[in-house]
Chain A
Amino acid sequence: MGAHISIPMYQRAVSQKYRMLAQKCLHCGKVNFPPKAVCKYCLTGSKFEHIQLSGRGKIYSHTIIAGGGAPPEFAAEASCKGSYPVVLVELEEGPKVIAQLVNPLDREISVGMPVTAVFRKIYEEEGVIRYGFKFMPAPVS
């Protein structure tokens, strides 16, 4: 038994999950992601323009979900990998987002580590594979 996110509900969030489409507040100019009806920064603006996030950011905090502690819909993944990292990332446009970290480096995950978003399989429900974004360590430039 997993957290139930129906296909229609998931579909309504496709622009966030697939393309990281965010809202720029026309009142204060700050970027909201995931979307809000009222801007979470100025608590006033309710009109937005859509912008695409770069997917680039830095690790704000991190954890490693142990196999036995994974939510049931991620249990198969956890038993396969043993455990998996989850990170809270501060994106360069301002918002923070939470997602899994893939391809972690050999060294320890740390606050401030640069990462970039990648499109990945998230989990499967109602026979449909749900895709979305995860993060991976940013390539050294």
Chain B
Amino acid sequence: MEGVAIIGAGQTTYGDFPNKGIKELFAEAYFEMVQSVDYGFEPQMLHSAYIGSLSTGSGFQLGQMAPLLMGHVGLPHVNAVRIENACASGGFAIYNAACAIASGKFDLVLAAGVEKMRDVSSNKGRYWLGVSGDTEYERLAGSTFAGIYALMAARYMHEYGLKREHLSMVAIKNHRHAVANPKAQFRKAITMEQALNGVPVAHPFNVWDCSPTSDGAAAVLLCRAGMAKNFTSKPVYLRGFGAASDYLAIHDRDSITSLAATSKASAEAYKQAGIGPRDIDFAEVHDCFTIAEILAYGDLGFCEQGRAQYLLEEGITQLGGKLPVNASGGLKAKGHPIGATGCGMACEIFKQLRDEAKEDTRQIKNARLALSHNVGGSGGTAAVFIYERGGQ
């Protein structure tokens, strides 16, 4: 199997961009990615492109979105395909790109993601956000994605004594991290009082427990590890990549205080990288709702199952702690343009591992190994990646 390296990454700022559609968002991320490659790259060298998106511009382009976007940036003949696994579409774009390179078939592959969420009426938004779960049963119980994660939170509270305040600690931490990130949607710190008293969404969640709707795109350039030095002296190596699925409906799962897809995907990634969770220096995890970050700590092996609240209490996962999680602000505050999210995590890690998170308060110093974790919906799919600093 060929090794895989990342040699370029770019993303739009996440947020509300009324004057940009998916083509403009994609182009912005793509050109930033091209700019980030140190030398030797010509776009015509690309062999293949995997582009993640759930709604393909709120449904305006139902089929063949990938060639539409590649044609927009002057690459009409590159083999291009759309990847869809709801909120994990971007992660699965990277996973497919990495597998394509590992197989020896391709040398240079683009993985990207895009989502245009702010164009739609709130009714339509709530419609298509709720139909990546089990529509026939979960949705017809009157539940939303927030409701499904709320059921997980209530059960976690029952089994492990998690308090409402622990959920808010995730929101406060990630909002604080986003303040210095120029790509983040919400660069505003919040207090515990605010975090506890937001507008109710699905008990125990209020609006501060939920990631926002966002417009955005991200693009990552992967190549065969052996040729990385043709493009940069500071590649980031993809040492492990794992992906897994689970029953789509939570009523079919044995446990709802753990996402089996995350556990299985991370076990695959750790094994391939030949490391364990203790070796990870920092991580970007899928905090679509505050409980999701708490579940991720256990499923990724950062703590024993059911003990995530102690990582929060001890400040281990905040910037400056032993294992910073979501230094970007996470989905919660950096934003969550569904299809782009998994690729945006890779952009953050690419910058951090090259010491290019220019804002001093943000740069994680002396990090060697990082992890990203991207979940589809309520855990029907998950992808986990392990990155290592190269060069120097």
Q: Is the CB of B155 within 8 A of A68?
A: no
A105 within 8 A of B: no
A73-115 vs B, CB cutoff 8 Å, 1 = contact: the mask equals: 0110110000110101000000111111000000000010000
Assembly CA distance A66 to B209 (angstroms)? 14
- Residues of A at under 8 Å CB distance from B? 1-3, 5, 9, 13, 34, 40, 60-66, 68-72, 74-75, 77-78, 83-84, 86, 88, 95-100, 111, 122-123, 130, 132
- B154 contacts A97, C-beta separation under 8 Å: no
Residue on B nearest A68 in the bound complex, by CB: B199
Query: Known: A2-B127, A40-B247. Contact between A88 and B151, CB under 8 A?
Result: yes
C-alpha spacing A88/B155, complex, angstroms: 10
Total interface residues in chain B, CB < 8 Å: 37
Partner of B144, one of A64, A65, A88: A65
Q: Does B126 contact A (CB under 8 A)?
A: yes
The 9 closest A-B pairs by CB, nearest first: A63-B150, A64-B203, A66-B200, A61-B155, A61-B151, A96-B251, A69-B201, A74-B142, A111-B158
- Smallest beta-carbon distance A71→chain B, Å: 5
Is B144 a contact of A71 with CB atoms below 8 Å?
yes
- Report Cα–Cα, A1/B247, bound state, in Å: 27
Q: Which residue of B lies closest to A36 (CB)?
A: B252
Pairs A–B under 8 Å by Cβ, sample size 20: A1-B127, A5-B136, A13-B136, A34-B137, A61-B152, A63-B143, A63-B154, A63-B203, A64-B200, A65-B146, A66-B201, A69-B201, A71-B143, A74-B142, A78-B142, A86-B142, A86-B151, A98-B137, A98-B141, A111-B155
Given A3-B135, A86-B142, A98-B137; 12 other pairs, CB 8 A cutoff: A3-B139, A61-B155, A61-B256, A63-B143, A63-B202, A68-B199, A69-B202, A72-B127, A83-B200, A86-B141, A88-B251, A98-B138
